[in-house]
Amino acid sequence: MGIKNLMKLIQASAPAAVKEITLKELLGRKVAIDASMTIYSFLVAVRSSSDGAPSANLTNEAGEVTSHLQGIFSRTIRLMEHGVRPVYVFDGKPPTLKSGELAKRKEAKEKAKIDLEAAQARIAAAGEDDAEAAKEAVAEAEKLAKRTVHMQGSHQEEAKHLLRLMGVPVVEAPCEAEAQCAALAKAGVVWAAATEDMDTLCFGTPRLLRRLTFSEARKLPVWEISLPKLLADLGLSMDQFVDVCILCGCDYLEPLKGIGPVKALERVRKHGDLAAVIEALREEGKVPVPEGYPIDEALRLFHEADITDPETLRGDIKWTAPDEAGLVEYLVDQKGFNADRVRNAIERLKKARAKGGQKRMDSFFTMGAKAKAAPAAKKGAAKPKSAAAKPARRTSASVKAGAAAAAAAAAAAASSAGTASPVAAEPSGAVVAAPSTGPASPAATPAEGPAGRSAPEAAATPAPVFFAASRPKPAASKRSSEDMDSAETSKAKRAK
DNA sequence: CTCGTCC
DNA sequence: TCGTCTGGCTCAAGACGAG
DNA sequence: TGAGCCGGACGAC
């Protein structure tokens, strides 16, 4: 899943697009979560071992798997206790161009299954005689079992049922959940998409949250990746960014031998767009490009992804009171959960709902902007990717001097643009080069904050910092909606 | 903090 | 020679609380 | 499955 090595590329060439944030900063935020990935990770991780045997998922007495329910239940409550308002987005039908990728995964899974059976046979054969061999076989079976984890439709349906009982909104995407998450974020229906899948950036989410898992500060901080900032620092338009990602290797298209992230970026900067890059590669003849290499279709999947118009979902995305009796009946009676724990959790959930429901100060601004933007939203049918889009600026130096210089140049250019006006930092409104269904208009993307906010920060740093793990806090800058986010209530009071 | 439990 | 890509390898992918 | 690490291949300079 995702774009190969994209995170590395970002860390090398646009590190400032990634910000470490705490859960506190997500208070009151609506966040779209890819449900399938979440469920899958719970199925893999939530296991329990019993005396010597390889670990297995949690189950009720009837043998039905409950790991995903346990995981979703506790994580959702935990998030809501921090004031996060999660929306779970479920996959629909996968696009046909993905079938190659899916077939590959299926094959790998079947192989793992065969290996697993072999390992299990070895466990049995080793018996008590050879404790050493048995232990080894168990360890191997353990790993293989995780590789054979297969998510079933029933798991998804059960998760939906649980979430609905909890009063947490569920969205059923027509196709890929990632695309729907991005559309929701782009339209401002949610504040960000939370997923590990970097594809979501290609689908145009203005904000991507990674590592929104885990409890409190116990582990790693959450990463917020800003798309406008990323584009500015890379010096790419949205279209060009997608081009780079496709060249790096995505689920839809085999990557080209000899082209990695560095060359992908270099090439797109040099030639302007994907079609031109491919053409040049064919002419040069050094990198083999397959005959019917379907770049147009891959482009279409990203630019015109099959999604439900976020505006039609806006009204349904609500956090309602949990159905307490329903939850007890489902989790305790049907799935064998501990009654006390469930009741306790429900109490926490009810309290948590109140916390997340508090209106953020900036919601006022957001709504104002949206109201104005709405009429303008209906744009004409999507242009077939304007190849005419000028290659933003091609520094010939960057090709020569490598990523470091390129990043420096890009960062400098971006920050100077950014300080002039927060809006200008959003490159050409490319972020909202919406798919045909996309209702988003530039102004409807609320609080394109990160670009505006971190631009001054970058300007204040004379030399480019490549692994800026700990950057100084940005000084409070101009008042805009995003400043309210970080400054919270104290700022709000002063503003009064 | 580690380790065992959740179902 | 250096930078970049590749292929093989490994590991870990949850949340919680009792002690 | 992805992400980090590493020895080796290969092309650019």
- Residue A275 in any domain: the answer is no
The residue ranking higher by pLDDT, A95 or A255, is: A255
Quickly give A152 CA vs C5 C1' distance in Å.
37
- Length of chain A counted residue by residue: 496
pLDDT band at A359 (very low <50, low <70, confident <90, very high): low
Query: pTM, whole model, 2 decimals?
Result: 0.75
- Residue A256 in any domain: the answer is no
Q: How far apart are CA A79 and CA A349, in angstroms?
A: 10
pLDDT band at A68 (very low <50, low <70, confident <90, very high): very high
Q: For nucleic chain D, which protein residues have CB less than 7 Å from any of its atoms?
A: A 1-2, 7-8, 105, 108-109, 147, 196, 198, 258, 286
- What pLDDT, in 10s, does the model give residues A274-319? 999 999 988 888 888 888 888 898 999 999 999 999 999 999 999 9
Quickly give A405 CA vs C1 C1' distance in Å.
20
List bases in chain C with any atom under 7 Å of a protein Cβ: 3-7, 11-16
Consecutive H or E run containing A183 = helix A177-186
Residue with CA nearest C11 C1'?
A: A143
User: For A45-57, what is the mean pLDDT?
Assistant: 83
A196 closest-nt by C1' vs CA = D2
List bases in chain D with any atom under 7 Å of a protein Cβ: 1-4, 11-12
Consecutive H or E run containing A262 = helix A261-271
In one letter, which amino acid is A136?
Answer: E
Q: How far apart are CA A360 and CA A485, in angstroms?
A: 8
Asked if A59 CB < 7 A from strand B, the reply is yes
Asked if A71 CB < 7 A from strand C, the reply is yes
Query: Residue A403 is encoded by which pair of tokens?
Result: 């990523």
Asked if A70 CB < 7 A from strand B, the reply is yes
Residue with CA nearest D12 C1'?
A: A400
Query: Residue A108 is encoded by which pair of tokens?
Result: 């790998």
Quickly give A362 CA vs C5 C1' distance in Å.
46
Asked if A258 CB < 7 A from strand C, the reply is yes
The residue ranking higher by pLDDT, A284 or A100, is: A284
Neighbours of A414 (CB within 10 A): 28
Q: Report pLDDT for A127.
A: 63
Q: How far apart are CA A345 and CA A343, in angstroms?
A: 5
Q: Report pLDDT for A137.
A: 72
Quickly give A215 CA vs B1 C1' distance in Å.
16
Nearest-10 Cα torsion for A275, A277, A281, A282: 20
- Residue A163 in any domain: the answer is yes
Above 70 in pLDDT, residue A465? no
Q: Report pLDDT for A100.
A: 63
Asked if A48 CB < 7 A from strand B, the reply is yes
Asked if A335 CB < 7 A from strand B, the reply is yes
Residue with CA nearest C3 C1'?
A: A402
Provide the 3-class DSSP secondary structure of residue A63: coil
Q: Report pLDDT for A494.
A: 30
Residues 424-463 of A with CB under 7 A from strand C: none
A4 closest-nt by C1' vs CA = D2
Query: Residue A280 is encoded by which pair of tokens?
Result: 């040049």
CATH code assigned at A187: 3.40.50.1010
Domains in chain A, number: 1
- Residue A459 in any domain: the answer is no
- Residue A75 in any domain: the answer is yes
Q: How far apart are CA A487 and CA A272, in angstroms?
A: 40
Q: Phi then psi for A367, rounded to 5 degrees?
A: -65, -35
Quickly give A258 CA vs D11 C1' distance in Å.
10
- What pLDDT, in 10s, does the model give residues A156-176? 999 999 999 999 999 999 999
Quickly give A416 CA vs C1 C1' distance in Å.
37
Chain centroid to Cα A382, Å, comes to 24
The residue ranking higher by pLDDT, A474 or A46, is: A46
Query: Residue A390 is encoded by which pair of tokens?
Result: 């000028």
Question: Which one-letter DSSP state was computed for residue A86?
Answer: E
| Residues spanned by the domain of A178 | 6-237+317-380
Query: Residue A162 is encoded by which pair of tokens?
Result: 């649980």
Concatenating the DSSP letter of every residue in A434-457 gives --TT----GGGS---HHHHHHHHH
Q: Phi then psi for A255, rounded to 5 degrees?
A: -75, 155
Query: Residue A90 is encoded by which pair of tokens?
Result: 């479920």
Asked if A270 CB < 7 A from strand B, the reply is no
Quickly give A143 CA vs D9 C1' distance in Å.
32
The residue ranking higher by pLDDT, A11 or A438, is: A11
Above 80 in pLDDT, residue A113? no
Q: Report pLDDT for A97.
A: 66
Neighbours of A342 (CB within 10 A): 18
Query: Residue A28 is encoded by which pair of tokens?
Result: 């009151």
- Residue A456 in any domain: the answer is no
Q: Report pLDDT for A131.
A: 66
Quickly give A180 CA vs D7 C1' distance in Å.
42
pLDDT band at A391 (very low <50, low <70, confident <90, very high): very low
Quickly give A45 CA vs C12 C1' distance in Å.
9
Asked if A75 CB < 7 A from strand B, the reply is no
Q: How far apart are CA A343 and CA A139, in angstroms?
A: 37
- What pLDDT, in 10s, does the model give residues A196-254? 999 999 999 999 999 998 655 466 889 999 999 999 999 999 999 999 999 998 888 88
Q: How far apart are CA A316 and CA A333, in angstroms?
A: 29
Q: Report pLDDT for A112.
A: 74
Instruction: Spell out the alpha helix ranges (H) of A328-377.
Output: 339-357, 363-373
A8 closest-nt by C1' vs CA = D3
Q: How, if at all, do strands A85-90 and A56-57 pair?
A: unpaired
Q: Report pLDDT for A382.
A: 35
Question: Which one-letter DSSP state was computed for residue A235?
Answer: T
Q: Are A257 and A287 a contacting pair, CB within 8 Å?
A: yes
Asked if A263 CB < 7 A from strand C, the reply is yes
Q: How far apart are CA A76 and CA A182, in angstroms?
A: 20
Q: How far apart are CA A427 and CA A447, in angstroms?
A: 15
Q: Report pLDDT for A215.
A: 52
- Residue A270 in any domain: the answer is no
- Residue A186 in any domain: the answer is yes
The residue ranking higher by pLDDT, A279 or A450, is: A279
User: For A47-68, what is the mean pLDDT?
Assistant: 88
Q: Are A301 and A252 a contacting pair, CB within 8 Å?
A: yes
Q: Which residues contact A138 (CB under 8 A, 6 or more apart)?
A: A52, A53, A54, A123
Q: Which residues are A241's β-sheet partners?
A: none
Concatenating the DSSP letter of every residue in A126-168 gives HTTT-HHHHHHHHHHHHHHHHHT----HHHHHHHHHHHHHHT-
Neighbours of A147 (CB within 10 A): 14
